[in-house]
Amino acid sequence: MKHLLSIEDLSADEIHHLLELTDHMAEVSSRPIPKVPALRGKNVVSLFFEDSTRTRTSFDTAAKRLSADTMNFAVSSSSVNKGESLRDTIETISAMGVDAFVIRHKSSGAPQMITRWTNAAIVNAGDGWHQHPTQALLDCYTIRTGLNRRDGFDGLHIAIVGDIKHSRVARSDVQAFAALGASITLVAPPTLLPPSLEGWPADVSHDLDALLPDLDVLYLLRVQRERMDDALLPSLHEYSAMYGLTAQRAARLAPHALLMHPGPMNRGVEMVVDPGEVPGSVILNQVTNGVAVRMAVLFWLLGSGSDLKGEA
């Protein structure tokens, strides 16, 4: 069974293939009736052990546009709260007949572990600090369309700014952007970087201002309040002063540069400027593209043949 657990598992060719497939899905999504029968009869179950609005809704919409049956398993109202083990939860739902699980879990590696207990395809919708592969794919697709770079990201300079250490988005994006040929700079205070960057295809900077004019993409990450409790940051105010995107900083971006954020944004922290006033902001495009990318991923894992043409 094919899974999507980590960007690491994908070759550059596979990433390109998924992005091309996303083009088809974007076309489907633009139809008056944005629905095809590609996954009719397939059962896609969303299992979110951690809160998420946009990712869950995005997967749900994607599955429905492909005519899959969908089931949302809300963990808070489930038997997990009665102490049922992860394995029993998976085996029980699997027994109902599941073709794919979309898994969000606060523990790194949980989706990989779940592959032991089911024959269904597993889509990692975010695990701990580890991976969020569909986010990386939608980010790639957004850059690909936003900068018209269908053939790859050679020569692009992308800065990822913020809490890299605790970010599954950063881990996935670095691997995906690098696979497509971009050069990447991670920008954060040392306390918000992973303990080792050995093997990461990225440079590090602590000086956002020096980088700004040179960037093709500025990718901001959410910075959470709890980082101050762990003595990783003195204050959000200080973070904002050193690494936040103010109007002054935004004005120094190149005219073609894209501004991205995986959401949810912390206004006034990493995002001081109103992104609506930044011409290169593609933050809402990311959300739109998320649906098409997840359609592509579900079709790639579960689809067969070329039944994208028909209508549901």
Tell me which of 16, 42, 55, 171 is the catalytic residue.
Answer: 55
For 16, 137, 259, 312, the CA distances from 217, given in Å and listed in that order, are 19, 15, 6, 38
Residue whose CB is less far from another protein, 262 or 280: 262
Place of tokens 């040929």: 181
Active site residue 171: no
Residue whose CB is less far from another protein, 128 or 152: 128
Active site residue 132: yes
Residue 200 CB: number of other CB atoms within 10 A? 18
Residue whose CB is less far from another protein, 128 or 263: 128
Stretch that binds another protein, among 106-114, 148-156, 218-226, 273-281 (CB under 8 A): 106-114
Q: Is 110 in the site for another protein (CB under 8 A)?
A: yes
User: What's at 281, amino acid-wise?
Assistant: S
Tell me which of 132, 166, 171, 294 is the catalytic residue.
Answer: 132
DSSP H/E element including 54: helix 54-65
Beta bridge partners of residue 220, listed in sequence order: 161
Residue whose CB is less far from another protein, 198 or 277: 198
Active site residue 165: no
Rounded Cα distance, 280 and 278, in Å: 6
Q: Is 128 in the site for another protein (CB under 8 A)?
A: yes
Contacts 24+ apart (CB under 8 A), 106-115: 106/49, 106/50, 108/168, 110/49, 110/86, 111/3, 111/5, 112/5, 113/86, 114/86, 114/90, 115/1, 115/3, 115/5
> Quick one: DSSP state of residue 263?
S
Among 198, 255, 304, 306, binds another protein (CB under 8 A): 198
Active site residue 130: no
Stretch that binds another protein, among 100-108, 134-142, 183-191, 203-211 (CB under 8 A): 100-108
Beta carbons within 8 Å of 301's beta carbon, 6+ residues apart: 2, 3, 4, 100, 121, 123
Whether the Cβ atoms of residue 162 and residue 141 lie closer than 8 Å to each other: no
Q: Is 109 in the site for another protein (CB under 8 A)?
A: yes
- The distance of closest approach from Cβ of residue 168 to another protein in the complex, given in angstroms and rounded to an integer, is 6
Q: Is 257 in the site for another protein (CB under 8 A)?
A: no
Among 152, 181, 194, 263, binds another protein (CB under 8 A): 194
Residue 215 CB: number of other CB atoms within 10 A? 24
Q: Is 85 in the site for another protein (CB under 8 A)?
A: yes
Q: Is 147 in the site for another protein (CB under 8 A)?
A: no
Rounded Cα distance, 54 and 284, in Å: 11
Active site residue 53: no
Among 108, 224, 285, 288, binds another protein (CB under 8 A): 108
Among 75, 86, 228, 254, binds another protein (CB under 8 A): 86
In 197-236, where do the E strands start and end?
203-205, 217-220
Among 107, 145, 183, 285, binds another protein (CB under 8 A): 107
Which residues are identified as catalytic? 54-55, 82, 104, 132
Task: Name the residues that contact another protein, by CB under 8 A.
Answer: 85-87, 105, 107-110, 112-113, 127-131, 168, 171, 194-200
